[in-house]
Structure 1
Amino acid sequence: MAQHVGMSMGTVQHYFADREAMLDFVLDYVQQQRTARIERAVQALATPTPAAILDALADEILTADETNQVFERVNAMFLDRARRHPATAERLGQGRAEVIRLFTGLLDGSGLNGRTEPVQAAGVLWALLESLPTAITLGQHTSLSARTVVHRHLASITKETVR
């Protein structure tokens, strides 16, 4: 990443107390960028119903552009790191729990089909949105086919029509 902006790794490390602080900064930065991008997509909605918000979230996460490719590479790095570093695993777990709570509220608000439990549905939705970007990166899905998977899943569990 340092080379990308024309700096040496030593120059970048100078600004942080240690490697852990630098990695924490990277994780925070990427999460803030992704959140801001999703918020802009939601703010652009003409009618922000729960279903429309879920739709915008899915579209934003599954867009196959350079920014999401960077997000995916950073995510892979931190997932690997989490296997050996409990604090990273805990941070990623907290983020997952926060997303599940958000999705649970949105799914509850969109009117589930009566056969689906909101927390379970939110967990399945996050599992899809967490794994499909990797499938896009590996060429196993296109952005469009990944979106179709998520939209069909949402249509199968909600009463409100999602795109």
Structure 2
Amino acid sequence: MPKRVDAAERRAHIADALFRVIARDGLGAVSLRHVATEAGVTAGMVQHYFSSKHEMMTFAMQAASARYEARIRDAIDALGIEPAPGGMLRAVLSNFIPQSATELSDGRISLEFQAYAAGHDDAARSLAAGDAQLRAWLAALIVEASGVDAGTAAERAAGLLGMAEGLGLKVLGSGMPASEALSALDAQLHLNGVADTTRTPDA
């Protein structure tokens, strides 16, 4: 009896190949044929699951976002039961600062996806929606951590997110040590009135 092919697994396999192509060769090297070669499958098979490069890129962007979300959940889970809001805030923001080879690779991929979205309105809208949700969550954590009003928290959330992303760019582009970037993040959290970022309330 023929082995049943899991379409979701096959799409994920192709997306992983796309990630490797982008991380190694950049966005300009991405094509259905190039990704097929990287994945070890035929171009026809890639086209069976993705009718166009844009459809493949859209799926891969969603998969990359899911990877970041999983990493953030793991970081928060590592804080233990009922973590302090300040600790959760740091766990989220520190994920924008690459601290390992895998995270450096994912950071480069993220930059390429952002460049792609700049020229594709539907991709840009998707990124904007995700960014708005993230800022709202950060703002809620800031209210809990520092007691400021919602408007002030929203402003601080936007600033801290932009700062964390900027530090991540420094690590990616100019070789700033991740430890230095994390120290800068901690300093900004302190300046924004976020209390103890490392201990849970009952620690």
> Which segment drifts farther, 6-15 or 69-78?
6-15
Alignment of 1:11-50 (within 5 A): 11-46=45-80, 47-50=82-85
Which segment is superposed worse, 37-46 or 132-141? Answer: 132-141
Contact 1:51 1:110 in 2 (8 A): yes
The structure-2 alpha-carbon separation of the partners of 1:83 and 1:43, relative to structure 1 and needing over 3 Å to count, comes to same
Q: Could you tell me whether the CA contact under 8 Å between 2:98 and 2:171 is conserved in 1? A: no
SS at match of 2:83: coil
Judged with a 3 Å threshold, the aligned counterparts in structure 2 of structure 1 residues 113 and 15 are, in CA distance, closer, same or farther, namely closer
How far did 1:56 drift?
1.6
Unaligned runs of 5+ in 1: none
Checking the alignment, whether the CA contact within 8 Å between 1:104 and 1:121 is kept in structure 2 is yes
Show CA shifts across 1:65-107 (max 9, x none). 1222232222222221222211111111111111110100001
For 2:75 and 2:158, how far apart are their aligned partners in 1?
22
Offset at residue 113 of structure 1 (A): 6.6
TM score, norm. by length of structure 1: 0.87
Ranges in structure 2 where 5+ consecutive residues have no aligned partner: 1-17, 19-34, 199-203
* Cα drift, residue 137 of structure 1: 1.0
Cross-structure match for 1:124: 159
> 2: CA distance between counterparts of 1:151 and 1:86?
35
Match of 1:66 among 70, 80, 101: 101
Structure 2 CA distance for partners of 1:81 and 1:57, relative to 1, 3 Å? same
The change in CA–CA distance for 1:80 and 1:61 in structure 2 (over 3 A counts) is closer
- 1: CA distance between counterparts of 2:68 and 2:167? 16
In our comparison, the structure showing a higher alpha carbon Rg is 2
8 Å contact kept, 2:135–2:157: yes
Root-mean-square deviation over aligned CA pairs: 2.2
Q: Which amino acid aligns with 1:30?
A: A
Query: Secondary structure of the residue that 2:197 maps to in structure 1?
Result: coil
Which one-letter code corresponds to 2:77 in the other structure? Answer: Q
Code of the aligned partner of 1:118: A
CA distance in 2, matches of 1:65, 1:13: 33
Whole-angstrom distance in 2 between the partners of 1:45 and 1:162: 10
**1:157 Cα shift?**
1.2
Summarize deviations over 1:120-161 as a string: whole Å, max 9, x none: 100001101222222101134211111111110000111512
Q: Distance in 2 between matches of 1:23 and 1:160?
A: 40
Of the three residues 110, 116, 119, the one matched with 1:84 is 119
How far the C-alpha of 1:9 sits from its partner, in A, is 5.5
Q: Which amino acid in 1 is paired with 2:121? A: P
Cα 1:124–1:33 change in 2 (3 A) is same
Deviates more, 1:100-109 or 1:73-82: 73-82
How many Å apart are 1:58 and its aligned residue? 2.8
**Aligned residues: percent identity?**
22
